[in-house]
């Protein structure tokens, strides 16, 4: 969903003016923010009633989080031997969390945005007493189902693979556009590239006319959003046949790119350019919709495609009587004046121009 604020257009103009060849991030240096990030990385104890949600995901002060319970009780030794026996961590406002809320049970709940997947656990072992250790706890299946993550709910045949292949890196990446602040990641992999990489990459992208070879978006005006990808994964194999020019959105969807997240501003730029260049017109099937839409909408798209009769418009602008764009939903059906949007506020915007709609959260709950 595009949020139209001065802040976003400022980002875009800054990029268009100066940031053509360099990747740079807009670090908002604010000591309070840094403190929140540090605390979250270590883990913050929280009451279930204080948990915030964003589109069904768990959130805390503009950040995506997960929730886990360190206390494994009498099973602690079993959990240390086999993480599958541990209490699952949660990534969504799932049924289990709702049950726990309803029971009003007192537990130590911890939220974090540390993505290693290794959790500090403890418990009272019947034989050896209090035990502490680390465990690679597993994800809650009700969370995956609720979000229809990668089609977990609607494509039962792929459930085992989705559960077994789950990584927090990939999960957080999927929803990176929904949060203002992104978690710290160990992405310092500069050394992996050859010394002349900057030059090789620039020349290669220029030879492709700054166009993504997957979705065909022309990024001449936002060159830092076009990457050079190594087909075989070997970052030293720079022969042209091994290189592919990909926009950051198509790039993050490649295998083994679990930590490549896209900011909300960058995704908006790409979707806007795709739209302006006619790449979102006349989509022929749901596969195309899934390939082009923001990945944060993947689960909800897979859910509605079972029942929707017509293909949606992806990122189509909705205008008011004066012809001003009031909102640009990721999924809309102009013929029916119906759209799926992020929240109640956006439902009101739809209503103001005579449209109806549903929030992502509501679609997921159905
Ligand atoms: Zn859950
Ligand atoms: Zn692309
Ligand atoms: Zn790549």
Distance from Cα 133 to the centre of ligand 2, integer Å: 43
Residue 24 pLDDT greater than 80, yes or no: no
Distance from Cα 146 to the centre of ligand 3, integer Å: 30
Residue 49 pLDDT greater than 80, yes or no: yes
DSSP labels, 223-268: GGGEEEEETTS-TT---GGGEEEEEHHHHHTSTT-TT----HHHHH
pLDDT given at position 206: 97
Distance from Cα 251 to the centre of ligand 2, integer Å: 7
Say if residues 180 and 26 touch (Cβ distance below 8 Å).
no
Distance from Cα 262 to the centre of ligand 3, integer Å: 14
Q: How far apart are CA 92 and CA 96, in angstroms?
A: 10
Decide the pairing of beta strands 356-359 and 338-341: parallel
Q: Nearest bound ligand to CA 256?
A: 3
Distance from Cα 68 to the centre of ligand 1, integer Å: 10
Interval 326-331 mean pLDDT = 97
Local structure of residue 303 (DSSP, 8 states): H
Neighbours of ion ligand 2 (CB under 5 A): 212, 214-215, 247, 250
Say if residues 339 and 357 touch (Cβ distance below 8 Å).
yes
Specify the pTM.
0.85
Distance from Cα 66 to the centre of ligand 1, integer Å: 10
% of the chain exceeding 70 in pLDDT: 90
Q: How far apart are CA 254 and CA 246, in angstroms?
A: 10
Residue 250 pLDDT greater than 80, yes or no: yes
Q: How far apart are CA 76 and CA 132, in angstroms?
A: 8
Q: How far apart are CA 225 and CA 23, in angstroms?
A: 8
First-last CA distance in the chain: 21
Strand partners, 244: 229
Burial of 264 (0-12, 13-18, 19+ CB in 10 A): buried
Helix (H) or strand (E) segment spanning residue 112: strand 109-112
Helix (H, G, I), strand (E, B) or coil at 93: coil
Q: How far apart are CA 173 and CA 348, in angstroms?
A: 29
User: What is the number of other CB atoms lying within 10 angstroms of the CB of residue 86?
Assistant: 22
Residue 344 pLDDT greater than 50, yes or no: yes
pLDDT given at position 23: 43
Q: How far apart are CA 35 and CA 124, in angstroms?
A: 32
Q: How far apart are CA 220 and CA 7, in angstroms?
A: 23
pLDDT given at position 307: 87
pLDDT in tens, 307-325: 888 999 999 999 999 999 9
Q: Nearest bound ligand to CA 229?
A: 3
Q: Which positions ≥6 away from 327 have C-beta within 8 Å? A: 1, 2, 317, 318, 339, 341, 346, 349, 350
Q: Which positions ≥6 away from 336 have C-beta within 8 Å? A: 310, 356
pLDDT given at position 191: 58
Interval 42-59 mean pLDDT = 92
Distance from Cα 270 to the centre of ligand 2, integer Å: 8
Q: How far apart are CA 322 and CA 309, in angstroms?
A: 31
Which residue is listed with tokens 């995506």? 64
Helix (H, G, I), strand (E, B) or coil at 77: helix
pLDDT given at position 258: 82
Which of 1-10, 235-244, 321-330 is predicted with the least confidence, judged by mean pLDDT? Answer: 1-10
Q: How far apart are CA 226 and CA 220, in angstroms?
A: 9
Q: Which of 79, 189, 91 is nearest to 140 (CA)?
A: 91
More confident residue, 34 or 332: 332
Residue 22 pLDDT greater than 60, yes or no: no
Q: Nearest bound ligand to CA 219?
A: 2
pLDDT in tens, 62-82: 899 999 999 999 999 999 999
Neighbours of ion ligand 1 (CB under 5 A): 90, 94, 96, 140, 142-143
Distance from Cα 250 to the centre of ligand 2, integer Å: 4
Q: Nearest bound ligand to CA 68?
A: 1
pLDDT band for position 2 (50/70/90)?
Answer: very low
Q: Nearest bound ligand to CA 87?
A: 1
Q: Nearest bound ligand to CA 217?
A: 2
pLDDT in tens, 190-208: 557 888 999 999 999 999 9
Q: How far apart are CA 258 and CA 169, in angstroms?
A: 5
Burial of 337 (0-12, 13-18, 19+ CB in 10 A): middle
Residue 20 pLDDT greater than 80, yes or no: no
pLDDT in tens, 93-127: 999 999 988 887 778 899 999 999 999 999 999 99
């Amino acid at each position: 969903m595009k949020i139209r604020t001065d802040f976003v257009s400022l980002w875009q103009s800054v990029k268009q003016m100066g940031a053509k060849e360099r990747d740079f991030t807009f670090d908002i240096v604010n000591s309070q923010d840094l403190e929140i990030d540090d605390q979250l990385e270590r883990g913050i104890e929280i009451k279930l009633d204080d948990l915030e949600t964003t589109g069904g995901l768990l959130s805390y002060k503009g950040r995506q989080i997960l929730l886990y319970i360190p206390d494994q009780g009498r099973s602690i030794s079993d959990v240390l031997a086999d993480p599958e026996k541990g209490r699952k961590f949660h990534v969504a406002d799932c049924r289990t969390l709702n049950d726990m809320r309803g029971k009003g049970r007192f537990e130590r709940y911890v939220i974090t945005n540390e993505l290693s997947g290794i959790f500090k656990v403890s418990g009272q072992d019947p034989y050896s007493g209090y035990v502490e250790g680390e465990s690679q706890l597993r994800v809650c299946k009700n969370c995956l189902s609720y979000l229809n993550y990668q089609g977990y709910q609607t494509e039962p045949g792929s459930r085992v693979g989705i559960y077994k292949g789950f990584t927090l890196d990939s999960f957080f990446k999927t929803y990176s556009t929904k949060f203002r602040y992104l978690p710290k990641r160990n992405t310092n992999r500069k050394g992996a590239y050859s010394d002349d990489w900057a030059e090789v990459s620039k020349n290669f992208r220029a030879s492709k006319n700054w166009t993504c070879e997957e979705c065909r978006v022309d990024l001449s005006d936002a060159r830092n959003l076009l990457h050079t990808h190594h087909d075989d994964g070997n970052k030293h194999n720079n022969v042209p046949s091994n290189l592919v020019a990909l926009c950051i959105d198509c790039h993050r969807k490649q295998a083994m790119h679990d930590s490549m997240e896209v900011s909300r501003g960058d995704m908006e730029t790409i979707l806007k350019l795709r739209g302006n260049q006619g790449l979102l017109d006349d989509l022929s099937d749901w596969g195309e919709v899934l390939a082009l839409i923001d990945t944060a909408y993947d689960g909800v798209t897979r859910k509605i495609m079972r029942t929707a009769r017509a293909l949606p418009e992806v990122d189509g602008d909705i205008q008011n009587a004066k012809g001003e764009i009031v909102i640009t939903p990721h999924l809309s059906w102009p013929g029916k004046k119906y759209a799926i949007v992020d929240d109640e506020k956006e439902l009101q915007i739809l209503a103001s121009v005579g449209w109806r709609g549903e929030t992502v959260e509501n679609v997921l709950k159905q």
